[in-house]
Amino acid sequence: MTAQPEPTIELFRTATGQRLHILGCPHVGSPVVAATANDLARLAICTWCRAEIHGTGRTYCHSLDDAMRVLGCWEGTHRLIRDALRFVAYDEIWLPHSDSYIALGRGGRCVARVGKGYVTIAATETYVELPGHRAGRGGGAPRVERLGPICPRHFLATSIAGVCDACES
């Protein structure tokens, strides 16, 4: 069995960049130039682009309906999503590796996002909240409240400075 050759992918760099990118990389905010043979030999490919090249990055969809099914949008919001996006011009649809939202892109840039509970449109800074989705409980570490010692007279927790509210009155 012979190994299949890897597909040739055109790589780019910014004028001052230290990494190689594919077109559409979200890290690139300035104009790009085609990478030279010298660039290919000395510069590493950015991690996002490497994931895209090896198929572990975005999940591309053929239609908005397909993307809404992959994301798991509530069917009651499909019409609202389509209505919110009716004037948005896009040429590609994808979900990031986390499958946390749908991105609509034009020319390699995200122009709108759809989550289970929202639609955002970049050009108009529009935010549409969708019904039927209950948000999670949030994340992060629980807040730890620091208290001082117990008041020997009132048996209440004191402030961090050791002042008892009951003794103050």
pLDDT digits (tens, 9 = 90+) for 28-83: 777 888 889 998 889 998 888 888 777 777 888 999 999 999 999 888 899 999 99
State whether 28 and 80 are in the same domain: no
95 and 38 assigned to the same domain: no
Does 17 share its domain with 41? yes
**68, 93: one domain:** yes
The gap between the terminal CA atoms of the chain, to the nearest Å, is 87
Position 5 in a domain: no
Q: Are residues 45 and 84 in the same domain?
A: no
Distance CA 52, CA 61 (A): 15
Question: Is residue 72 domain-shared with residue 94, that is, in the same domain?
Answer: yes
Q: Is residue 87 part of a domain?
A: yes
pLDDT of 104: 94
One domain for residues 63 and 31: no
Q: The domain containing residue 90 runs over which residues?
A: 59-129
Q: Are residues 125 and 64 in the same domain?
A: yes
Query: Which alpha helices (DSSP H) does the chain contain, by range?
Result: 37-42, 47-53, 64-71, 78-84, 165-168
Is this model's pTM higher than 0.75 or not?
no
* Number of domains composing the chain: 2
In this structure, is residue 169 part of a structural domain?
Answer: no
What would the pLDDT profile of 121-137 be if each residue is shown by its tens digit? 988 888 999 987 665 55
The answer as to whether 140 is a domain residue is: no
Same domain, 41 and 98: no
Does the structure show a pLDDT above 70 at 142?
no
Q: Does residue 3 belong to any structural domain of this protein?
A: no
For residues 68 and 104, state if they share a domain.
yes
Determine, yes or no, domain membership for 146: no
pLDDT in tens, 69-119: 999 988 889 999 999 999 999 999 998 877 889 999 988 788 999 998 899
34 found inside a domain: yes
Unique residue bearing structure tokens 């994301």: 71
69 and 114 in a common domain: yes
Please indicate, yes or no, whether residues 95 and 109 belong to a single structural domain of this protein: yes
Residue 103's pLDDT is 92
Q: Is 107 exposed, middle or buried (0-12, 13-18, 19+ CB in 10 A)?
A: exposed
Q: Does residue 4 fall inside a structural domain?
A: no
Per-residue pLDDT band for 16 (boundaries 50, 70, 90) equals: confident
For 10, other C-beta atoms within 10 Å of its C-beta total 8
